[in-house]
Amino acid sequence: MKSSAPIDLPDVAITGLQLVPIVAMDARGSASAEKGVFDIRWREDSRHDTGIVCRIESYNLAYFGHPDLNEDAKPDEHEVLYRPDPFVLDPKLCEVRFLDARRAPVARACYQDGTMTAGPCPPGTFPPPRLPADLAVDVQGASAHRNGDLGLQVKALFTLGQPLADKVSFAIRCDGVDSEPHPGEGFVPLSRLLAGETLYTWELVFTMKKPLAADPKQCELRVFTKAKTLGTFCIAEGSTEPGACGT
């Protein structure tokens, strides 16, 4: 993946914005770039929140990394990691968004195969996927595994079909055992996505009301807000299907 030359976004007092691939050292001390993993780096006095979405295969994959982990950085130097889980691919198209306190974009920049330019990416850069009818949220590639006595860990791709005004919560029922509701916005921030964007999570951990004897054979995952259910999905035998599980 190609590093971009730094650019400025003067309207929001951001300078030196660039994409920089992450270089890792192997056991022999040789350096190599990690596939698809990069930092977005910039300078500004008052830090904006950020969002990053890249076109990977047929997905508009968003990622919200932990910001400013470099302890040696100066107060005006900022960076956010992008890791395209569960893919190991170098994206050629990405859009960086700087957000205000209400998480509305105030500035954008477009990365295209090594070049960063100010402004949004061209129309059509991120074509939305086709989702099953009437789904505000789609779930794909989900798996569920025991995590301790009462824990259950879910990994999945979540795709937003319609913009969300409210934060989402989750509940799951596995092999006849219900979970406690999970206010998952901190780990699955779907309200930060635009319609047609996808988010991968491996951090969605439920507390079950009774211990499971083994990894479940079948789980029914429900995604909802205070106002309504956004989608129900059946996770079983390596597949994820919309709708309730059969008996």
> Which CATH number covers residue 214?
2.60.40
Query: Is residue 128 domain-resident?
Result: no
Side-chain-side CA neighbours of residue 81 (13 Å): 13
Residue-range definition of the domain harbouring residue 73: 7-118
Quick one: tokens of 231? 């989608």
Residue 169: inside a domain, yes or no?
yes
Measure the CA–CA gap between 121 and 54, rounded to whole angstroms.
Answer: 11
- Checking phi first, is residue 106 left (phi over 0); if not, alpha (psi -120 to 50) or beta? alpha
Tens of pLDDT, residue by residue, the chain (247 residues) = 889 999 999 989 999 999 999 886 566 666 667 788 999 999 999 888 888 999 999 999 998 877 777 878 888 999 998 988 899 899 999 999 998 887 788 999 999 999 999 999 999 999 998 887 778 899 999 999 999 889 999 999 999 998 887 888 999 999 999 999 888 777 788 888 899 999 999 889 999 999 998 999 999 999 998 888 999 999 998 899 999 998 5
pLDDT of residue 31: 61
- Choosing from 118, 147, 179, the residue where a domain stops is 118
Q: Can you tell me the distance from the alpha carbon of 214 to that of 49, in angstroms, rounded to the nearest whole number? A: 40
Number of domains in the chain: 2
Number of H helices, E strands in the chain: 0, 17
Nearest partner of 173 among 211, 208, 130, 127, judged by Cα: 208
Q: Are residues 167 and 238 in the same domain?
A: yes
pTM for the predicted model, two decimal places: 0.88
